[in-house]
Amino acid sequence: MMHFAWPWVWLLLPLPWLLRYILPRAETASPAALRVPFFARLQQLGTQHERRVSTSQLRRWLAYLVWILVVCAAARPQWLGQPIELPLSGRDLMLAVDLSGSMQTQDMTLDGRQVDRLTMIKSVAGKFIAQRTGDRIGLILFGTHAYLQTPLTYDRTTVRTMLDEAAIGMAGKATAIGDAIGLAVKRLRNYPNQSRVLILLTDGANDAGEVTPLQAAKLAAQEHIRIYTIGVGAERMLVQGFFGNQVAVNPSQDLDVDALRKIAKATGGRFFRAKNTDQLREIYHELDRLEPTVTNSATFRPFRELYPWPLGLALLLGLGFAWLQLPARIRTADTSASHRQQTRESLT
């Protein structure tokens, strides 16, 4: 259906007619008398006068039409489409991912190949992000320092792209878990909402930053922000020994499980342990159950702007108006030159 975004602009439509009757008319000089000795010449002048009157009326109505089209374009005509239901959960979800040096440990298996921890997180978390229809999602990357990579947004594609572009060490080699939680609290508190969630993924212990993880967790609890912590890393991995033999080691010996449990408990969240890819997938399925996506919906009507059409037509008619003006002046100049020439010949 048609719709005008600014319908009040139509109040300007009678403005030219009002000005025509309100403003005083411009004084027009009376044409000089001219004696024409021949009737044919007089008849020709009368025909030219009628032609000028007809052209003047055409120009006037053309100007009125141009004005109507300009007002129509200024009122912003739009074509409204069918209403579309948008799912909205009212949930603000921040994802904090560890990029410290230990995340390059290749103790994970993805699609039958050995990969590092960050590559596995990108694959599983990326699918989780894509499924969070209606949620506002943000991304924090942390190492020695914590950075806001993507603010809260409904654009899940951008968040997933930013996660895929993250690289180990780009935020430093250490692990500042407290700073990451503090940054998430700072960003989430700007969105007064009943459901604000932080999902923190790490494979180590807090060894950098200005704020301890428990202090940051208390701040999150005061702001009613739930934190789900996920400890990533296998507990057994075979490495090459000194004598060339395979030796079993624990690559997750630096993971501070106790601190992650306390962080989750202080905020009403939960701690999860992801020792492999399948467990991380199950964790995200559990998070989908704990934090369901769709709770209500909003209506959106797409629209298409139509003002270029009347505006373009007004431009074309304006060019036609200018074209009508130009020949009239030329004819007037030619007639004056002809009269002067006839006067010189009669005098001589």
What are 219-235's pLDDT values in tens digits? 999 999 999 999 998 88
Instruction: Report helix, strand or coil for 241.
Output: coil
User: By mean pLDDT, which of 86-100, 117-131, 275-289, 333-347 is the weakest?
Assistant: 333-347
Beta-strand relationship, 271-274 and 225-232 = parallel
Instruction: Report helix, strand or coil for 45.
Output: helix
Token reading at 133: 């229809």
pLDDT score for 287? 85
pLDDT score for 39? 45
283: exposed, middle or buried (C-beta count within 10 Å: 0-12, 13-18, 19+)? buried
135 or 210, which is more confident: 210
pLDDT score for 140? 96
- How many CB atoms are closer than 10 A to CB 266? 17
Q: Is the dihedral of CA 72, 76, 79, 83 positive or negative?
A: negative
Superfamily of domain 90-299: von Willebrand factor, type A domain (3.40.50.410)
94 or 38, which is more confident: 94
pLDDT score for 246? 65
pLDDT score for 23? 80
Q: How would you label 299-313 residue by residue, b for 16+ Cβ within 10 Å and e otherwise?
A: eeeeeeebbeebeeb
Q: Which of 110, 116, 107, 109 is nearest to 251 (CA)?
A: 107
Token reading at 222: 């005061």
Q: How would you label 93-127 residue by residue, b for 16+ Cβ within 10 Å and e otherwise?
A: bbbbbbbbebbebebbeeeeeebbbbbbbbbbbbe
Place of tokens 């074309």: 316
pLDDT score for 143? 94
Q: What angle do CA 279, 281, 283 make, to 5 degrees?
A: 70
Is it the case that residue 331 has pLDDT exceeding 60? no
274-308 confidence digits (pLDDT tens): 988 898 999 888 888 877 755 555 676 788 899 89
DSSP label at residue 16: H
133 or 276, which is more confident: 276
- Max mean pLDDT range (19-28, 104-113, 188-197, 242-251): 104-113
pLDDT score for 226? 93
331 or 287, which is more confident: 287
